[in-house]
Amino acid sequence: MKPRIPLRVRTLALTLSAAALAVPLVNAPAEAAHTPLPRTGFETSNGARWTGQPEEQAFLAAVDRGSKRTSIGRIGTTKQGRPLQLVRIGAQHASHTVLLICSQHGDEPSGRDACLSTIRDLAYAKDRNTERLLARTRILVVPTANPDGRAANTRGNSDGVDINRDHIALKTAEGRATAAVIRDQRPDVIYDLHEYGATPPYYDKDLFDLWPRNLNTDAGVHRESQALSGQYVRPAAHHGGFSTGTYGIWTDPVTGDPIKQTAGDGQERILRNASGVKNAVGLLIESRVDPLTEEERADSSLNNRRRVGSQLSALGGLLSFTEERRDRLEATTTAARLSGFRDRGPVYLGGADNDPATPEETLQDPPCGYRLDAAQYADIKDELALHGVVSWPAGNDGAFVPLRQSQRELIPLLLDSRATYHLAPGQAITAC
């Protein structure tokens, strides 16, 4: 039996997919007949090229001027001086928040162009479903999470750093900006848009996705992340005519059975996992870069439109999930954030939801906190603050970081010497 596709999934997915084909929006306002809506460089070229950085700035400025639903702010600056921006759409004081992080890898542009046209579509939409969504939800978008990498068409930033491996250390301007947004805006959902290279016939879908695998993800957050994938994003993509699968898992093309895992572990420094550890529902989405047909090989614009179209179909599922499960989502993320104050249960320094942690990777009885000396605290206090971790002064300018707080499970990953990506080897304090 095929998964049920809710009506709102179909409505929103069809509205959003119009942008990928560079045709007029289904729900464009009447005044658009006299004043054309802003269009991206991708759209004006019908997919022949990706939107340039100056075009992005002009496009966002036009949307900001033309819609009362949107506001645009600067959240950082790259090493080469390009702006890192956050677009806010919808109810600015709503308690329910969704965050889109677009193209952390600069050579994966389809998610970025999908995000740009989605910003415009939401800003100008007049249909009842979208207006209802935006009346109760804040949608935040970082349209280009790696502007220097996008300008150079490189995976990493201008220093060659993969910013999707910097969500613990926070050494890059890009990683720090994202951490600050997560800390300050407290999103219920973090949706991370990427692309991948296919390996036929074992790894060859239009779209792959993956939820937080890190074992420190709250059980309710983990369930909602899997529901976002299996009940909304994948059915919406299928309705759009796109195939889907689980990121990082090769499958037998005949039986569909998994063969081996090649990516998608529980590393806490990856945004998908950092989202879960920080008590937000998370999902990674990956569209297929490689041409599917001889026509796409001969005409890159066809391939590009498919790549963006698949991202837009999946985004329709995300928006439907956001609206239909809003109350459940808020209850789940609130409970996860409060659970840290109970200070109970193990913390895992390794493993994943498909790879049980070993005894050596499990803090079955975690310490009540970690002591940092003055030098350690001076070195990492900014990163602790960006992560939203609370610390207390502790003599001679050092600090004590208690586990009894919202970010409980994150703290050992930052401060335990056994954690793979720890910032400093804090002294575990067992009696407080």
At 30, the pLDDT band (50, 70, 90 cuts) reads very low
Supply the CATH number for residue 264's domain. 3.40.630.10
Tokens of 111: 């998610």
Residue 2 belongs to some domain of the structure: no
Look at residue 425 in the predicted model and tell me its pLDDT. 98
- Strand bridging mode 138-142 / 97-102: parallel
Omega before 83 cis (within 30°)? no
Question: Coil, strand, or helix at residue 246?
Answer: strand
Mean pLDDT of the chain: 93
- The residue-averaged pLDDT of 416-422 equals 98
Question: What is the pTM for the complete model shown?
Answer: 0.94
Asked if residue 172 is part of any domain, the answer here is yes
Structure-block tokens of residue 7: 């009506």
pLDDT band at 34 (very low <50, low <70, confident <90, very high): low
- At residue 326, what are phi and psi to the nearest 5 degrees? -55, -50
Residue 1 inside a domain? The answer is no
pLDDT grade for 19, boundaries at 50, 70 and 90: very low
Q: b/e string for 252-261 if b means 16 or more Cβ within 10 A?
A: eeeeeeeeee
- End-to-end, the C-alpha distance of the chain in Å comes to 55
Q: What is the pLDDT of residue 9?
A: 40
Q: Is the same domain home to 392 and 413? A: yes
What's the domain count of the chain?
2
Range of the domain at 210: 7-335
Tell me the per-residue pLDDT of 113-130, one tens digit each, with 9 for 90 and over. Answer: 999 999 999 999 999 999
Q: What tokens were used for 319?
A: 């928006």
What are the C-alpha distances in Å from 359 to residues 4, 346, 355, 356, 362? 41, 11, 13, 9, 5
Smallest Cα–Cα separation from 363: which of 426, 317, 320, 311?
426
Question: Taking 90 as the threshold, does the pLDDT of residue 14 lie above it?
Answer: no
Task: Judge if 260 and 285 occupy the same domain.
Answer: yes
pLDDT over 90 percentage in the chain: 89
pLDDT tens digits along 353-386: 999 999 999 999 999 999 999 999 999 999 999 9
Tens of pLDDT along 300-358? 999 999 999 999 999 999 999 999 999 999 999 999 999 999 999 999 999 999 999 99
Q: What is the 3-state secondary structure (H, E, C) of 41-81?
A: HHHHCCCCCCCCHHHHHHHHHHHHHHCCCEEEEEEEECCCC
Check the CA dihedral 393-394-396-398 and report its sign: negative
Q: Are residues 400 and 324 in the same domain?
A: no
* Same-domain pairing of 172 and 54: yes
Write out the H or E segment, with its range, that includes residue 120: helix 110-124
Q: Based on the domain organization, do 44 and 106 belong to the same domain? A: yes
In this structure, the answer to whether residues 141 and 187 fall within a common structural domain is: yes
| Phi–psi pair at 65, nearest 5 degrees | -70, -35
pLDDT digit string, tens, across residues 196-246: 999 999 999 999 999 999 999 999 999 999 999 999 999 999 999 999 999
Decide if pLDDT at 10 tops 60: no
